[in-house]
Structure 1
Amino acid sequence: MKKFRHLIYVVLLIALDQFTKYLAATTLKVNGPFPIIPKVFSLYYHENNGAVWGIMSGKISFLIITSIIIMTGMVLFYFKIPAGKRYNFMRIVLVFLSAGAIGNLIDRSINRYVVDFIYFELIDFPIFNLADCYVTGSAALLIILSLFYYKDEDFAFLNRKEEQKHE
């Protein structure tokens, strides 16, 4: 039941990401940038045909294949996570990480670029989107959890030898 609920969350997060990208494409592309806080924060339409910060620009096929491989690994990892409340944070992180990866994968597969629209002008930060927020936030949280919350023995489920001992 929990896995089904997590799947629903992934779908809802993807829908939110795709909806915000649709709004950006239909309004910002036509009407231009929309300042929220002038000279600080704006909504600005941008088509990114690379990965984060435009690296690997034009390598769409490679990025699609890499995303599919990483998503497959995340799904396998998700299903190996033991039951129990201790792993709830990890499951939630994987929900957001998956939603972000799939949201940008959809863009790359359909449009051959990712729609970005969130821009922090004040620091001239690269333009990004909601899926990027999911991926970046969840990756940072996964690192923090791995360093400060989970212990080595919490990851014993990943060790095949440990798994065979319990069978």
Structure 2
Amino acid sequence: MKKMSQHSNLKWLWLTLIFLLADQVSKYWVVNTMNLYQSIEVLPFFNITYAQNTGAAFSFLADQGGWQRWFFTAIAVIASVIFFVWLFRVPKQQQKLAIALALMLSGALGNLIDRALFGYVIDFLDFHLQGYRWPTFNIADSVIFIGAALMIWDSFSQEKQRKHSAKA
């Protein structure tokens, strides 16, 4: 096994910690200052709205009998382990991928904590425009999305680099 010092991408775990703390502190604030479904208008297109999601993205499987709590908890545990191990093993030159993994790890852990403690995920970021409302989400969901977007960008960058190297 390679020495941990050779895996400088573990240095990105500070991002995991920062966003995990931001996620949990913001959820704590919402739960302790708002009533369920209460909404506070921040901007004409953005509210802070306290919601509890027992399902997955877009409340998928939210109306099930409770088994989904343990299913989604298990998925979050598995995803967290995969993200951490992958971050540990990714070559140190692949900084975008390392940052993406650190962000996705943070989001997976943030939602895992909610599911394990409460049986649901606390959501509160509520965007709407001209009658269209995006499903309410949280900081953990946001960093998972940003991490996934970074991972896609990295994969295209890597492909472009491979094609360029093959021509040389």
Q: For this structure pair, what is the TM-score category when the shorter chain's length is used for normalisation?
A: 0.7 to 0.9
Question: Is 1:10 aligned to residue 16 of structure 2?
Answer: yes
Matched, 1:37 2:37: no
DSSP-derived class of the 1:151 partner: helix
Matched-pair contact (CA < 8 Å) for 1:28–1:43: no
Q: Distance in 1 between matches of 2:36 and 2:81?
A: 37
| Structure 1 unaligned blocks of 5 or more | 155-167
Matches within 5 A, 1:4-153: 5-29=11-35, 32-38=38-44, 40-57=45-62, 58=66, 59-84=68-93, 87-122=94-129, 123-146=132-155, 148-151=156-159
Which piece of structure 1 moves more, 111-120 or 50-59?
50-59
The amino acid that maps onto 1:102 is L
Question: Which residue is 1:161 aligned to?
Answer: none
- Work out whether residues 14 and 102 of structure 1, in 8 Å CA contact, stay in contact via their aligned partners in 2: yes
Identity level (%):
29
What is the aligned-residue RMSD (CA, Å)? 2.1
Q: Go from structure 1 to structure 2 and tell me whether the alpha carbon gap of 1:26 and 1:4 turns closer, same or farther (over 3 Å shift).
A: same
Give ranges in structure 2 of 5+ residues lacking alignment: 163-168
Q: Contact 2:16 / 2:102 at 8 angstroms: preserved in 1?
A: yes
TM-score (norm 2): 0.81
TM-score scaled by length of structure 1: 0.81
C-alpha change, 1:44 and 1:121, in structure 2 (3 Å) is same
Q: Would the alpha carbon gap of residues 112 and 31 (structure 1) be closer, same or farther in structure 2, given more than 3 Å must change?
A: closer
Shift of 1:5: 3.2
Shift in alpha-carbon separation, 1:153–1:81, aligned structure 2, 3 A = farther
Structure richer in helix, relative to its length: 1
Does the C-alpha gap of structure 1 residues 4 and 81 become closer, same or farther in structure 2, counting only changes over 3 Å?
A: closer
What is the Cα deviation at residue 144 of structure 1? 2.2
SS at match of 1:82: coil
SS at 2:47 equivalent? strand
Using the alignment, how far apart are the partners of 2:91 and 2:145 within structure 1?
25
